[in-house]
Amino acid sequence: MSIDRNLQEHGVSASQLQATPQLLEKLLDEEIKSLIGALEKSRASGVFVLLDATINPTLPYASCSRACIYLKNMEPNIVNRMDAHLRYAFGPMSIARKNGIRILPKWQMEMDISSLPYFTDLMATARASKLALSRLYRWSQTTSLPNSSERIMLCTAPLIAADGTVFGLCGFEISELLFKLYHTPLADSYNHVFCTLSPLENNTLRLSGALFSRAFVGDPLTLAAPIEISLQEKGFHCYQQAEKESYAGLHQTIALYPTDAAYAHEQWALALMMPQPALNALLSVKNRRLIFGLLALMLANMGVAAFISRKYMCPVTAALEQLKQPNSAPKTRIPEIDDLIEFLAAQDEARPHMEEKVSVPNQSYLSFVNNIKLLSPAEKTVFDLYVEGYRAKEIAAILCLSINTIKKHNRRIYRKHNVSSRNELMVYVNMMKENQL
């Protein structure tokens, strides 16, 4: 940063920063434009530079007071005209007046680091570690600035001079308002759903350091107590806080650091949850809608099946039934059935002519008549029905016999009369009828 260059220009090392308090305001003034530009690009809710020095080291509280500039964007969802929403939270008043930045009502000259426990820890880690700067940043758990009740998270990195001296911190602020603007669930679709970004320790969400976004008024959880995570049926997790109702939802571990970072051991989780009774009611409504949808689909399928059957299957079935009627050749609107009907009708017309064309000698006829005596009573019964003009299926129905039994009798009748087919048999039968006349 330019702070290190300015120190070098004044012949002061970073380790001598506290010994030159008269330079602190000038050093901070040089950083104001860089801070505004960084805030515009990041769309964070705040940006700051915090030096490990105080302007007046003789004051009683000087050990906890540090010189800084802290800028806040009061409308972090608005990018255009950021200057209209930029506020000065900490820093020398002269810098704010010089740059035309409005002062927050709770403005302070310097930052009280006693409310920021991560300050001392991060400074000590940066001084003791040999890691690169990109591995020394840290996300703080949720905290509040001095004289403020707003919950914020800070992404902080150390300021390291060219000689390796750590002379302060800088970073960005993510307010709970900004987190809510970007991550609030849709209230119209899912009531009482809320999202939280929370530290994760031993399968427990530490809500005291978490950010929340919710679409309803009221705090759903006691922030001072952790919430235990357990897996339940249907793929949801159960979140239980002591003496509070249980919650159901899902969560995923978030990697905020590289694996070789100084704070890689700190785990965070993004969780989406809602009260268990509300989830049960929602699932019940969804199940009813699913059942009604399936019933409607089944009824629609039945209607389509009935339509197809009536339009296509019924005409085919009726046409096939008509084929069973004797001396009937109806016309249908199905080309294939009409062709079959015409073919069968032509076959029936050709049969009498075929029978007439079969001629046999008189000796064969006499042999046929004499062989009638060789038929058994059952065979004679079947033969007599053939003489009367019945067909095989009709004979089976009259005698209450199976068609296979009738076929067996037919083979014996053909063999005893020396004929090979029913047509030949009927030729002799017709000759018998003519002789009788």
Residue 236 CB neighbour total at 10 angstroms: 17
Tokens of 134: 């990109």
DSSP 312: I
The average pLDDT across 288-301 equals 86
Tokens of 93: 């008043």
Third-level CATH fold of 2-175: Beta-Lactamase (3.30.450)
Q: How confident is the model at residue 357 (pLDDT cuts 50, 70, 90)?
A: very low
In this predicted structure, the answer to whether residue 334 has a pLDDT above a threshold of 80 is no
In this predicted structure, the answer to whether residue 77 has a pLDDT above a threshold of 90 is no
Residue boundaries of the structural domains of the chain: 2-175, 179-282, 358-436
Q: How confident is the model at residue 355 (pLDDT cuts 50, 70, 90)?
A: very low
Residue 437's identity, in one-letter code, is L
Tell me how far apart the alpha carbons of residues 172 and 47 are, in angstroms, rounded to a whole number.
Answer: 4
Q: Are 176 and 150 in contact (CB under 8 A)?
A: yes
Q: Are 380 and 372 in contact (CB under 8 A)?
A: yes
Q: 3-state DSSP helix/strand/coil percent for the chain, to nearest 5? A: 50, 20, 30
Tell me how far apart the alpha carbons of residues 429 and 38 are, in angstroms, rounded to a whole number.
Answer: 116
The average pLDDT across 421-430 equals 84
In this predicted structure, the answer to whether residue 356 has a pLDDT above a threshold of 50 is no
Q: How confident is the model at residue 164 (pLDDT cuts 50, 70, 90)?
A: confident
Predicted model pTM = 0.63
Residue 213 CB neighbour total at 10 angstroms: 20
Query: What pLDDT digit, counting tens, does each position of 1-52 carry?
Result: 577 677 666 666 667 778 888 888 888 998 899 999 898 888 799 999 999 9
Residue 315 CB neighbour total at 10 angstroms: 14
In this predicted structure, the answer to whether residue 415 has a pLDDT above a threshold of 70 is yes
Q: Are 270 and 197 in contact (CB under 8 A)?
A: yes
Which residue shows structure tokens 């308002």?
A: 177
pLDDT given for residue 67 in this prediction: 92
Same fold, 2-175 and 358-436: no
Tell me how far apart the alpha carbons of residues 307 and 313 are, in angstroms, rounded to a whole number.
Answer: 10
pLDDT given for residue 197 in this prediction: 92
Third-level CATH fold of 358-436: Arc Repressor Mutant, subunit A (1.10.10)
Q: How confident is the model at residue 215 (pLDDT cuts 50, 70, 90)?
A: low
In this predicted structure, the answer to whether residue 341 has a pLDDT above a threshold of 70 is no
Q: How confident is the model at residue 420 (pLDDT cuts 50, 70, 90)?
A: confident
